[in-house]
Amino acid sequence: MARLQPVRGTHDLLPDDARRFRHITETFRKIAERYGHQEIATPIFEFTEVFSRSLGETTDVVTKEMYTFEDRSGDSITLRPEYTAGIARAFISNGLQQEVPCKFFGWGPMFRHERPQKGRLRQFHQLDVEILGVGEPQADIEVLALAHDLLTALGLGDKVTLELNSLGDLESRTAYRAKLLEFLERYEADLSEDSRTRMRKNPLRVLDSKDEGDKRIVADAPLLIGHLNASSAAFFAAVQDGLGALGVPHVVNPRIVRGLDYYSHTAFEFTTTALGAQGTVLAGGRYDGLVGELGGPATPGIGWASGIERLAMLVENMPEAPRPVALVPVGDGAEREALKLAHQLRQAGLMIDLGYKGNMGKRMKRADKIKARAAVIVGEDELERGVVALRDLDAGTQSDVPLADLAAVLAALN
């Protein structure tokens, strides 16, 4: 029988990996709540239309990467490739427009059928932050400050760069689109087949092309930031001024684009050179038209997502794993008392490991293997005297401790 392996593009989160994930998600939770965000969790699958309408029918995610299937009722269902569309759907479904501004955070698995590579999997995990119902630049500043605080708390502040651009409002993008299409038409014969198809429907998507020939062509294309109207320029200036006031460093990258019409104003990426080609660790933007695109009321929104796997590859200073206390019963008569003692100490909030079998030597070897902080030796003679032998495995010392004092003594161990 062939050795069982996980499906390509998926992996097991073993205890060390899970601990890294927990450190990231717990740090994220604390900081998001500090900013007044509330936790939300949406289903990992939705009706396909939720993603096809929000991500765009011609995007690679929709046409090539989504895990879509027909369920037993004949409905087209898709495993979520990202979080924002599901949160926007939940906002509409639950009538939350009456409660704006809505500030959410969440995290969980996403699914995309793409070529697995370093930091990119077919089942991956994302942190997500959204603000719905705020059209002012203060929301943009706040989500960027939250992201900066998170990355700093994870020890990544000096490893990432915030790159910022403005997509302007619809008027600005419409004027720019005409200029961009005029430019692309001059090189249409040299563009890739995908870009020739996309340029008529949405020329901004050509700017995102991964084709090397396309990249050389669009390097000379006009920039959207040069076609902002006065109100869009003022919005972008306000965002940058707010970041400056908060001490959040950034650079302007006029080549950050989002190809769908519901995106507007701020688009951003936190990038790093520490992951090779896959340099984006957190990205987002303002999507004032998304809720309306999904059939809800016109509602401004802004948010970001960050891949936990990529963050885990970057985080170096992980907190040490908590160390248990090993209970070591000596003699058959001590087994039952050790079982009761382990239960009492766990109820007192202590991490206790009680081996299931073996003599004292084998159990002490296990204590070393699990890096126990101390061993509590429970012998029949000691029990008769109302004490246990406490061995400090770091200091190499041993002393008798009254049973009544044991929980307090163990809690005081560093």
Q: Which residues are annotated as a binding site?
A: 82-84, 112, 126, 130, 258, 262-263
Q: In what order do the strands lie in the sheet with 264-271?
A: 38-39, 102-111, 123-132, 301-307, 280-286, 264-271, 161-166, 251-252
Q: Is 183 left (phi over 0), alpha (psi -120 to 50) or beta?
A: alpha
Which stretches within 56-210 are classed as H helix? Answer: 60, 84-93, 137-153, 170-185, 193-201
For residue 120, give the DSSP letter. Answer: B
Nearest Cα neighbor of 352 from 333, 322, 327 is 327
Binding residues for L-histidine: 82-84, 112, 126, 130, 258, 262-263
**Strand 374-379 with 325-330, pairing:** parallel
Cα of 186 vs its chain's centroid, Å = 41
Which helix (DSSP H) or strand (DSSP E) does residue 378 occupy? strand 374-379
> What number of helices (H) and strands (E) belong to the chain?
15, 16
Q: Are 9 and 120 in contact (CB under 8 A)?
A: no
Kindly report the length of the chain.
Answer: 414
CA 297/CA 261 separation, integer angstroms: 16
For residue 342, the surrounding DSSP H or E stretch is helix 332-347
| Element (DSSP H or E) covering residue 376 | strand 374-379
Separation CA 204–CA 212 (nearest Å) = 17
Query: What is the Cα–Cα distance from 297 to 294, expressed in whole angstroms?
Result: 9
Q: What SS3 state is found at 291? A: helix
